[in-house]
Amino acid sequence: MMRLMIFDNRDSYTFNLVECFRKIGVDEIHIMTEDDYSPEKLLDCERIVLGPGPGLPDDHPILFDILDNVKAHQLVLGICLGHEALAIHNGGKVKQLDRVFHGDVARVTPTVSSDPIYSGMPSEFHAGLYHSWIIDEDTLPDNIGISSRSELGLIMGLQHKQLPQYGFQFHPESYRTQDGLLLLRNWYNLI
């Protein structure tokens, strides 16, 4: 069984993620693109990362096909574009921000101090942002919970309430994110 699959939305940050997971001791990492994607290949994955990428989730329909085909025991993490895809897949929407956050830093606060994905993190930490769209909180479905927010009140993290599916709007692999490796390790070790 494949330990970790990272879906590459043709984004250079994918390789930063690969390096981060290698640093925390993951040695079996498969990078999948739309060219070699098939639902059958997902069956071999214990953990799936829906990586960042350009544009909007609707520009990457394979993200929704992946989410349609993951099983309840598979651990999923959406980062930026992948995070937005998780919300849309469950019935939410995204909206364009008044400004672009590219290389900016947000102060992020977990909403539940006992959330294991934020275990060992400070009560407020800095996170690198590279986005101009955000999940529209007014459209967030009941089965998705907010796990963290920025100092502007924007959703920075989410979690499915019934499935092991998580999302970060920020980039844990960014050098601008405080303890990003710890966040990735926490997620990886959830199952």
pLDDT digits (tens, 9 = 90+) for 6-40: 999 999 899 999 999 999 999 999 999 999 999 99
Q: What is the pLDDT of residue 3?
A: 85
Averaged pLDDT of the chain: 95
Catalytic residue among 60, 83, 131, 173: 173
Q: What is the pLDDT of residue 64?
A: 98
Query: E-assigned strands of 60-143?
Result: 75-79, 94-110, 125-135
Catalytic residue among 60, 83, 131, 171: 171
Can 45 be counted among the known catalytic residues?
no
Mapping DSSP to helix (H, G, I), strand (E, B) and coil, where does residue 54 land?
coil
Catalytic residue among 20, 45, 80, 83: 80
Can 80 be counted among the known catalytic residues?
yes
Q: Residues 146-167: what's their mean pLDDT?
A: 97
Q: CA-CA distance, 161 to 1, in Å (whole number)?
A: 26
Domains of the chain plus CATH, in order, are 2-188 (3.40.50.880)
